[in-house]
Amino acid sequence: MMPIGPLMIEHRLIERMIALMERELQNAEKEKRVNARFIETATHFIRAYADRCHHGKEEDILFRELKKKAISEENKKILDELVEEHKWGRKTTGRLVEANARYEKGEKEALSEIVNCIRLLVNFYPKHIEKEDKHFFIPVMGYFSEEEKAAMLKEGYEFDSSLIHQEHADMVSTLEESMGGKL
């Protein structure tokens, strides 16, 4: 049993969203405008699924467990790079969210920031995913026993099941705050 299977499956869904974002990028460059609702949906996906769910499991489970192991310098270097790449992805997605909000308020100058951020993310994710899939996940599994892999897989499923509840609780809390507090 290998806990990387679910992570690699998640990569396939992220790749599908990135392909859609690339299509939106091409449209934006051609039409000189963006579909703000699409950007809102795409950034929600990146934040909720790619980052909070997927990167959350990598950082909170796999990376945490790897830090307990005596891993090679090469694997340590890649691990550190992945953590920094996750931070970069969060920052870039945040910039995209902010630019889209300005664009929705009529600030047409925000279009160039939106296009730039989409381009950065579209170029980033395929390389990041390839690094994880081909140069990191499979080699690092050798550091774990079958029991440790099974425990990480179980923890990943528990992480997923609690995540949907947390996301919706956060949504309700945000709405309550915007409407003057709990009823």
pLDDT digits (tens, 9 = 90+) for 90-108: 999 999 999 999 999 999 9
Q: What is the mean pLDDT of residues 144-163?
A: 92
What average pLDDT does the chain have?
92
Domain 4-178 has CATH 3.30.390.50: no
The pLDDT of residue 1: 37
Whole-angstrom distance, CA of residue 52 vs CA of residue 4: 17
Are the C-beta atoms of residues 50 and 89 closer than 8 Å to each other?
yes
Residues 6+ positions from 113 with CB-CB distance below 8 Å: 95, 96, 99, 102
- CB proximity list for 28: less than 8 A, separation 6 or greater: 34, 111, 114, 115, 118
pLDDT tens for each residue of 133-144: 999 999 999 999
Question: How confident is the model over 39-75, as pLDDT tens digits?
Answer: 999 999 999 999 999 999 999 999 999 999 999 999 9
Fill in the amino acid letter for 77: K
Asked whether the predicted pLDDT for residue 17 surpasses 90, the reply is yes
The answer to whether the beta carbons of residues 36 and 104 sit under 8 Å apart is yes
